[in-house]
Amino acid sequence: MNYLLLSLMGGFLALDGTSVGQFMVSRPLVAGIVAGWVVGDPALGLLIGGVLEVYFISMFPVGGAVFPEGGPATLVGVVAAAQLGGAPGLAVGVLMGLLWSRLSAWSIRLLRRINGRLAPDPTATGVTPRKVATAHLAGVGIDFVRGAILTFAGLVGGAWVASTLGPHWPLDRNTTLGLLAVGASVPAGAFVASLGGWRRRRLLLGMGFLGALALGWVL
Amino acid sequence: MSRLTFRTKLAVFLRAFLIQGSWNNRRMVGGGFGFALLPVLREVFRGQEATLNEAAQRHSEHFNSHPYMANLALGAVSRMEERGADPEEIRRFKIAVRGPLGSLGDALIWAGWRPAVVLAGLTLALLGAPPEWTVLFFLIVYNLGHLALRTWGFRTGLAQGSDVGGALRFLSIPRQADRISGIGVFLLAVVAGLVLGRGLTANLEMALWIGPAALGLWLGSRVGQKAFKPLVRGVAALMIVIFLAGWFG
């Protein structure tokens, strides 16, 4: 697997997260499936991306909040998972995705500090259009490099975790999925609470859950 | 006074996609706002270097907005600069709109449109759609809304200048955001139902996880977004303990 190309892909995913466009190519669902194609297993990418998507569902980047970055983290998780497959792959993929999302949040904080130093001071004299444009585009470039370095480090770290810890995962697939579903239920609860609460949304929640439960059973 | 050319307006619209490129805690999207507006300033203040520098400086001051909704302010300020509005009037306008453009965009997009379309994509995947269809569905539907909002904002700002408040009220964004959020909550319940229904069909032992999952839902609804950091730490620590238990066991 070409780590250089995957790292560049991580850089582009990081850009989409905040700096450029925000077309949501960097959402775990999309990044997971795309990474799955790259490693030759889109279904695995969908599984890891889908799980991470629910973990991040309640995080809204409102105001100046620092948020977990899903794109590079999901890419790292899927590539690590593909080295093992099965329940150990699922466990390693989600673990790397969660850890790298936290590391991404830390690197975003650092990026913002650097951007603050690069930006021309509006109260100082000598601010020109060229200085405004240069500082801004430098911020975009640094964000790309940040995403690429973060992804590269994650790919190396993920390969190590997959080869050392991965084979020792003792749980089967259903137990692993159950464990991850319990974890995902916490952000799901936070999501409902943020968007009106259980009491106000009870009809929608009841209809959706019971209807889908029956459909899931039939399918 | 000059009339903005199509090329200038297009340049501002395209640069707006990079508005968060130099986000920082002191000026937030101020640098991006100044960068996006430069084509207008260069056209309006052509041949007046000192005035152009002064305009670039004042538009790089602190500003914040949801990135998609910032187009409304960019369009309006472009029009105001074109008409030769007083710089102090423009500054007051930017201060007045930055709060509403941030909070309305956050409610409409980050808490409404994005999770609703993501959950619709997950629902499709759980119903058996191939991964490529899930990706295409999400990207196309999400970005139809995204690009429509950016285009509407820029055009409305350009057409109405500083009078954009009426357009915002006409859209009644808080009510629309609440409706979309309701759809998101419904789709979350659908995803949960499908996961459980399919899990139980595959293996009845999955029913054992219903109790802990219900507890997790309750906990999440009590703690809210603050639960994320401890959750990640807790899940990661638990998984590492399980790995180590497997290693030594």
The residue of chain A nearest to residue B114, with distances taken between CA atoms, is A24
How many Cβ pairs within 8 Å bridge chains A and B? 351
Please state the ipTM of this predicted complex. Answer: 0.94
Q: Which among A61, A135, A210 is the nearest to B193, CB-wise?
A: A210
CB–CB of A140/A20 below 8 Å?
yes
Residue B156 CA to residue A7 CA, distance in Å, equals 40
A165:B18 CB<8 A = no
- Band (B82; pLDDT cuts 50, 70, 90): very high
Report which residue type is found at B171. L
Q: Which among B24, B208, B229 is the nearest to A115, CB-wise?
A: B24
Q: Which among B194, B201, B213 is the nearest to A212, CB-wise?
A: B194
Q: Which pLDDT score is estimated for B165?
A: 85
DSSP secondary structure letters along B122-167: HHHHHTT--HHHHHHHHHHHHHHHHHHHHHHHHHHHHHHTT-THHH
Q: Which among A54, A55, A196 is the nearest to B185, CB-wise?
A: A196
Q: Which residues of A touch B138 (CB under 8 A)?
A: 24, 27, 29-30
A58:B219 CB<8 A = no
- Ramachandran bin of B129, using left for φ above 0, alpha for ψ from -120 to 50, beta for the remaining angles: beta
A193:B53 CB<8 A = no
Residue recorded with tokens 């009426």: B166
The three-state DSSP-derived secondary structure of chain A is: CCHHHHHHHHHHHHHHHCCCCCCCCCCHHHHHHHHHHHHCCHHHHHHHHHHHHHHHCCCCCCCCCCCCCHHHHHHHHHHHHHCCCHHHHHHHHHHHHHHHHHHHHHHHHHHHHHHHHHCCCCCCCCCCHHHHHHHHHHHHHHHHHHHHHHHHHHHHHHHHHHHHCHHHCCCCHHHHHHHHHHHHHHHHHHHHHHCCHHHHCHHHHHHHHHHHHHHHHHC
Six-digit token pair at B63?
């500003």
Q: Which residues of A touch B137 (CB under 8 A)?
A: none
Q: Which among B41, B139, B209 is the nearest to A129, CB-wise?
A: B41
B195:A216 CB<8 A = yes
Say whether residue B4 is in contact with chain A using an 8 A CB cutoff. no
- Band (B2; pLDDT cuts 50, 70, 90): low
The residue of chain A nearest to residue B177, with distances taken between CA atoms, is A195
Report which residue type is found at A38. V
A68:B106 CB<8 A = no
Q: Which pLDDT score is estimated for B203?
A: 78
Q: Which residues of A touch B56 (CB under 8 A)?
A: 127-129, 132
Tell me the shortest Cα–Cα distance from B106 to chain A, in angstroms. Answer: 6
Mean of the pLDDT values across residues B85-108?
Answer: 94
Mean of the pLDDT values across residues B2-10?
Answer: 90
A187:B212 CB<8 A = no
B:13-72 residues touching chain A, CB 8 A cutoff:
17-18, 20-28, 30-32, 34-35, 38, 41-42, 52-53, 56-58, 60-61, 64, 67-68
Q: Which pLDDT score is estimated for A120?
A: 86
Closest CA to B59 of B84, B90, B89, B86: B90
E strand or H helix that includes residue B107? none
Give, for all 219 residues of chain A, the pLDDT tens digit.
699 999 999 999 999 999 999 999 999 999 999 999 999 999 999 999 999 999 999 887 776 777 889 999 999 999 999 999 899 999 999 999 999 999 999 999 999 999 999 988 877 778 899 999 999 999 999 999 999 999 999 999 999 999 999 999 999 999 999 999 999 999 999 999 988 888 898 999 999 999 998 888 777
Residue A131 CA to residue A140 CA, distance in Å, equals 14
Say whether residue B235 is in contact with chain A using an 8 A CB cutoff. yes
A185:B214 CB<8 A = yes
Say whether residue B242 is in contact with chain A using an 8 A CB cutoff. yes
Determine the residue among B225, B226, B233, B238 to mutate to test chain A binding: the one whose Cβ has the most chain A Cβ atoms within 10 Å: B225
Say whether residue B140 is in contact with chain A using an 8 A CB cutoff. no
Q: Residue B54: is its pLDDT beyond 60?
A: yes
pLDDT tens sequence across A107-148: 999 999 999 999 888 777 788 999 999 999 999 999 999 999
